[in-house]
C-alpha cells in the first residue's frame, strides 16, 4: 500500500526521497571519484541515465552492451555533457555464456578495480525463444547472464574491497512484476518448456529470480565476512526500449489506466543510483528497494529455501552450458 500511495502522491519515504526523486537529486553532493562501476545495459533508457549520473559524480563507468553502436552513441552523449567523464564500453550479450565470459576477460585485462556492479540490462515480454545456450530467453538474459557475470566478477570485487577498504556494492534490477510469476515461482523442471509459457509470467519469473539471487548472494557474502553488499531494486514503471515487444495498443491502454504510476527516466534511475552511491546504504544488504526506500517483496522472494534452490540450479546451468540445449 505504501508503494501505491508513494507513486500516486510522490510522498517521500523515511530517507527523504520518493517516487518523484531523480537520480541527480539522490546523489547530490556525493563524490564517487575513487569508484569504478560496471553497468549492464547502460546504452539506453534508465541504464544510460544511471551511467550518466554516476559519471557526473566522477565514477569511472564501464558500460556493458550488446549493441556497440548504441553503446558508443551513449558514451558520446555523456561526454558531450561532461567532458571530464570517464566512460568506457565493452561488448556484452547476457543471453550468451561465451559473451559473458569474454566481457569479464576483457574487463580484467583493463587492470581496473571494481567497486560497484549494477545488473541493469534485460528483455521484457518477448515471444518464446531459446538463447544460443538453449535457455528460455527472458530467464537467460535477465537472470542467468547476470548470475554468471556476478560470479565471475566477484573475486575482483573482493580484491578491490580488501585493498581499498571501500565497501563494494552489487545492485540487481528487479521489478514489481516479480509478484506475477508462475504458480510455484520458478519452473525449475520446465524452464525451457514452450507449453504453458506466457510472456508476462516468464518476465515475472526472471524478476523474481533477480531478488532471490540477490538475497542468497547477500547471505553468502555476509557468512564469508566480505565487505560487499547486494540489494535489489524496482526502478518503477517507465516507458523505455524494454517495451519494444509490447503492442502499441496494449501499451497505450496500459499507460492510460496507470497514468499516475509512470515515472520519467531520471526518476526511474533514482533508486539504482541511491542504492549504488548513497552513504545511508552503507552496510545494508539483502534488501529490496522501491522509490529509494526499503520495501517488502513477495513471499516467494523472501523464501530462503527457494533462493538456495535457484542458486544451485543457476550454477548447474552455467557450468553445464555446453549441454543446455538438452535440458527441458
Catalytically active residues, by annotation: 197
Give the count of beta carbons closer than 10 Å to the beta carbon of residue 194. Answer: 11
Contacts of 152 (CB under 8 A, 6+ apart): 100, 101, 104
Distance CA 16, CA 225 (A): 30
Distance CA 183, CA 88 (A): 42
User: Which residue's C-alpha cell is 515475472?
Assistant: 204
Distance CA 209, CA 127 (A): 19
Helices (H), the chain: 2-9, 23-26, 45-56, 68-81, 97-109, 137-138, 145-164, 199-224, 248-257, 265-268, 270-277, 304-319
Beta strand ranges found along 129-217 (DSSP E): 168-173
Distance CA 155, CA 85 (A): 27
Beta strand ranges found along 149-227 (DSSP E): 168-173
Q: Taking the mean position of all CA atoms in its chain, how far away is CA 117?
A: 9
Dihedral-angle region of residue 58 (phi above 0 means left; psi in -120 to 50 means alpha; beta otherwise): left
Contacts of 216 (CB under 8 A, 6+ apart): 304, 307, 308, 310, 311
35, 281 contact by CB (below 8 A): no
Of 306, 293, 155, the closest CA to residue 228 belongs to: 155
> Reduced to 3 states, what is the DSSP secondary structure of residue 49?
helix
- Cell matching residue 23: 537520480
Amino acid at each position: 500500500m505504501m508503494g501505491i500511495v508513494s507513486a500516486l502522491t510522490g510522498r517521500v519515504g523515511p530517507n527523504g526521497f520518493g517516487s518523484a526523486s531523480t537520480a541527480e537529486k539522490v546523489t547530490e553532493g556525493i563524490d564517487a571519484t575513487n569508484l569504478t562501476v560496471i553497468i549492464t545495459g547502460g546504452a539506453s533508457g534508465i541504464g544510460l541515465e544511471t551511467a550518466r549520473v554516476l559519471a557526473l559524480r566522477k565514477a569511472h563507468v564501464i558500460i556493458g552492451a550488446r549493441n556497440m553502436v548504441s553503446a558508443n552513441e551513449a558514451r558520446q552523449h555523456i561526454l558531450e555533457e561532461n567532458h571530464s567523464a570517464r566512460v568506457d564500453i565493452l561488448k556484452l550479450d547476457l543471453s550468451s555464456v561465451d559473451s559473458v565470459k569474454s566481457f569479464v576477460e576483457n574487463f580484467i585485462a583493463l587492470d581496473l578495480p571494481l567497486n560497484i556492479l549494477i545488473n541493469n540490462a534485460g528483455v521484457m515480454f518477448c515471444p518464446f525463444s531459446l538463447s544460443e545456450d538453449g535457455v528460455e530467453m527472458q530467464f537467460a538474459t535477465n537472470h542467468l547472464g547476470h548470475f554468471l557475470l556476478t560470479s565471475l566478477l566477484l573475486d575482483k570485487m573482493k580484491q578491490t574491497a580488501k585493498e581499498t577498504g571501500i565497501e563494494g556494492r552489487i545492485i540487481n534490477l528487479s521489478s514489481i512484476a516479480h509478484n506475477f510469476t508462475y504458480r510455484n515461482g520458478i519452473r525449475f523442471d520446465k524452464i525451457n518448456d514452450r507449453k504453458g509459457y506466457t510472456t508476462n509470467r516468464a518476465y515475472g519469473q526472471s524478476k523474481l529470480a533477480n531478488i532471490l539471487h540477490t538475497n542468497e548472494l547477500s547471505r553468502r557474502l555476509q557468512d564469508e565476512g566480505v565487505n560487499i553488499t547486494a540489494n535489489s531494486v524496482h526502478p518503477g514503471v517507465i516507458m523505455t526500449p524494454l517495451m519494444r515487444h509490447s503492442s502499441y495498443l496494449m501499451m497505450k491502454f496500459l499507460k492510460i489506466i496507470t497514468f499516475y504510476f509512470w515515472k520519467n527516466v531520471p526518476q526511474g534511475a533514482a533508486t539504482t543510483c541511491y542504492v549504488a552511491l548513497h552513504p545511508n546504504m552503507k552496510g545494508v544488504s539483502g534488501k529490496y528497494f522501491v522509490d529509494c526506500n526499503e520495501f517488502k517483496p513477495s513471499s516467494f522472494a523472501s523464501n530462503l529455501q527457494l533462493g538456495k534452490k535457484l542458486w544451485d540450479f543457476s550454477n548447474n546451468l552455467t557450468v553445464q552450458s555446453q549441454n543446455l540445449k538438452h535440458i527441458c
